[in-house]
Amino acid sequence: MHLTTKTPEHRDSNGVQPLLISKSRYQAGLQCPKLLWYRFNQQDAIPPVDAATQARFDQGTEAGSLAKRLFPKGIEIGAGVIKRTTVDELSRAALPERRPMFEAGFIAGSAFARADVLVPVDRGQWDPIEVKSSTSVKPEYISDIALQRHVYAEAGLRIRRCAVMHVNTDYVRRGEIDARKLLTKTDVTSEVNEAVASVGGELERMVAIIKQKRPPAVDIGPHCEAPHECPLKDRCWKAVPTHSVFTLTHAGAKAFDWYQDGISHLRDIPRDTHLTPAQVIQIRAVHSRRAQVNRDALREFLGGLEYPLYFLDFETISPAIPVWDGTRPYQQVPFQFSLHVVSKPGAEPVHHGFLAEGTADPRPKILAHLKLLLGSRGSIVAYSATFENNALRASSDAYPAFADWWARNEPRVVDLLPPFRSFHYYHPDQCGHASLKNVLPALTGQGYDEMEIADGITASQEFMRITFGNAPAAERKRVRAALKEYCALDTEGMVRIVERLSKLGAG
């Protein structure tokens, strides 16, 4: 067997353990050399991951755990072991057993790579499988596996084929999760074989960067946001003004062209530049430092609202691994709603709310509550209403007793986003955005800054944690209160927005 013919050089001639570039650090180096340098030399300068990134990591961990079910004879390598040389030794020791290995890791030169699953196949060969919670193969996965293939080959393993195991969106949960149907495998051998040729050169380049005494000078660019937003973005973008060309709506790659030409502020865009009507409004707002208001358009929009008004907002979960029967991977399933009802112009809003308790599917209770609360007339107002509409349509399809009810009432839904998306109202503090999180403080002065839960991703994560985790009772109580406060602000905010628009339209 040609499995241990190459012995890794764990230490140099002075007995010092060399630096090792892992898969995550290799990806950092491909994205930005400055990010790579900081990961090795000033790790404490990199902020903790945000809620969205952590959610992605958590989903990946879940998918990886499920994938192990497909290899019942598999063995875990170095569970909980941080020292890479130890993982390498344990992995090499397990090779002769010819069993599937989870998290087997090998060192080769300046690189270290672990495979989610390493499967023994014919003729002493191995198939590495990378498990992802995504629904397709992304370009960055190829470079990730190319590093693995490079390391394994250098470590003496014979690799046959490479694959990505990812989530099948056609899967519908019925009872216990069926990992064979939930996860699907895509062969990426040809793409990896093409990419692996550049790995050796990339590693040499990265080692040289890491050994520099200071971080390399790298200007900002599209790499700051792809394939993921760089954790150093706040540091590198300090000199970018608040009203920068990057905030210009629908500017796209043109913003970086302006920046490279020395144009960073919206005020500096040449007057002869061709701009869309919305871009003109945005720049005019920045120049004047005042909101831009199209009163006729606002009056037309407001005239389409029929009282009583029902301001509705959902919070949802969309896990990669479906939680409830009848749901698909990443399906948006509501677990909470807030509803503010305004019976007539000028009336005080009345609030109703629902937050699921326990682990049962909350959709039947949500639908039953809303059927009682929404009445049969009046506008149902939501912000970016497609989200609420889709959630209600999917929920009523899953529970047909409510299907006719929602089919009759769906035409009542009015989206509050269009006046802002169309720039009929635009305040410079929106910085090119039309989301509720940007519009509400700009228009009313009310915002989310002091809230414990201040965004939908955190709300979803926290609900999952206290509902399906082992949070103590006091923790669950505190989080549930924060969830109710956050969701209620969304609908109260919509009430205040309509009130403010009504005054502006009347003016």
Where do runs of H (alpha helix) occur along 42-83? 51-68
Q: What is the mean pLDDT of residues 372-387?
A: 97
6-42 per-residue burial string, b: 16 or more CB within 10 A, e: under 16: eebeeeeeeeeeeebbbbebbbbbbbbbbbbbbbbee
- 271-278, Cβ contacts within 8 angstroms, sequence gap of 24 or more: 276/249, 276/250, 277/423, 278/249, 278/250, 278/422, 278/423
23-209: CATH topology is Lambda Exonuclease; Chain A (3.90.320)
| pLDDT value at 479 more than 60 | yes
**Nearest partner of 373 among 296, 309, 324, 419, judged by Cα:** 309
In this prediction, residue 507 has a pLDDT band, given cuts at 50, 70 and 90, of low
In this prediction, residue 7 has a pLDDT band, given cuts at 50, 70 and 90, of very low
What SS3 state is found at 354?
A: strand
The alpha carbon torsion through 74, 80, 83, 86 (nearest 10 deg) reads -40
d(CA 30, CA 108): 19
Span 208-220, pLDDT tens digits: 999 999 999 999 9
In this prediction, residue 8 has a pLDDT band, given cuts at 50, 70 and 90, of very low
In this prediction, residue 15 has a pLDDT band, given cuts at 50, 70 and 90, of very low
Question: Residue 486 is inside which H or E element, if any?
Answer: helix 473-506
Span 272-320, pLDDT tens digits: 999 999 999 999 999 999 999 999 999 999 999 999 999 999 999 999 9
* CA within 13 Å, CB half, 317: 26
**Nearest partner of 116 among 70, 83, 160, 155, judged by Cα:** 70
| pLDDT value at 341 more than 60 | yes
Q: What is the pLDDT of residue 505?
A: 82
| pLDDT value at 53 more than 90 | no
For the chain, percent of residues with pLDDT exceeding 70? 96
| pLDDT value at 495 more than 90 | yes
Q: Whole-number mean pLDDT of the chain?
A: 94
In this prediction, residue 18 has a pLDDT band, given cuts at 50, 70 and 90, of low
Higher pLDDT, 126 or 54: 126
Could you tell me the pTM of the whole model?
0.91
Question: Residue 104 is inside which H or E element, if any?
Answer: strand 101-108
Instruction: Spell out the domain ranges in the chain.
Output: 23-209, 240-290, 296-506
- The answer to whether the beta carbons of residues 418 and 382 sit under 8 Å apart is no
CB atoms within 10 A of CB 196: 20
| pLDDT value at 5 more than 60 | no
* CATH architecture of structural domain 296-506: 2-Layer Sandwich (3.30)
**Nearest partner of 488 among 314, 319, 283, 327, judged by Cα:** 314
The alpha carbon torsion through 151, 157, 162, 167 (nearest 10 deg) reads -80
d(CA 64, CA 62): 5
Span 156-176, pLDDT tens digits: 999 999 999 999 999 999 999
Q: What is the pLDDT of residue 485?
A: 97
Beta strand pairing status for 163-167 and 309-317?
A: unpaired
Q: What are the residues whose beta carbons fall under 8 Å from the beta carbon of 29, sequence distance 6 or more?
A: 21, 35, 36, 202, 205, 206, 209
- Give the type of residue at 255: A
DSSP-derived secondary structure letter, 430: G
- The answer to whether the beta carbons of residues 81 and 256 sit under 8 Å apart is no
Two structure tokens written together for 332: 């948006």
| pLDDT value at 82 more than 90 | no
| pLDDT value at 152 more than 60 | yes
In this prediction, residue 349 has a pLDDT band, given cuts at 50, 70 and 90, of very high
* CA within 13 Å, CB half, 479: 19
In this prediction, residue 41 has a pLDDT band, given cuts at 50, 70 and 90, of very high
